[in-house]
Amino acid sequence: MRPADWGRTLVRGWSSAVWYAKALMGEDRYRQYLAHQARVHPEATPLNEGEFWRMVYREQDLNPSGRCC
């Protein structure tokens, strides 16, 4: 493998690891929410990001069964 190939492989691996960590932590949930809203409820105005996260945390507090702690 040439040195340039190693660099590309390393960058691709790092990008995949970052994507996985963000998905695992739920960082892409707002983007998924926006895509869902556009697809299923195009006439409705979606929540802004702050409102979305407040809703998520409120629901977690009201229904803690899905969390370990």
**Which amino acid is it at 59?**
E
Distance, in Å, from the CA atom of 54 to the CA atom of 49, rounded to the nearest integer, reads 9
pLDDT at position 16 is 93
pTM above 0.85, yes or no: no
Could you read off the pLDDT of 48-66 as tens digits, one per residue?
999 999 999 999 888 877 6
Q: How far apart are CA 47 and CA 1, in angstroms?
A: 48
CA distance 60 to 67: 8
**Domains contained in the chain, number:** 1
Each residue's pLDDT tens digit, 1-20: 777 788 899 899 999 999 89
Specify whether the CB–CB gap between 45 and 33 falls below 8 A: no
Q: Which of 26, 25, 49 is nearest to 37 (CA)?
A: 49
First-to-last alpha carbon distance for the chain, in angstroms, is: 47
Domain span at residue 51 reads 3-66
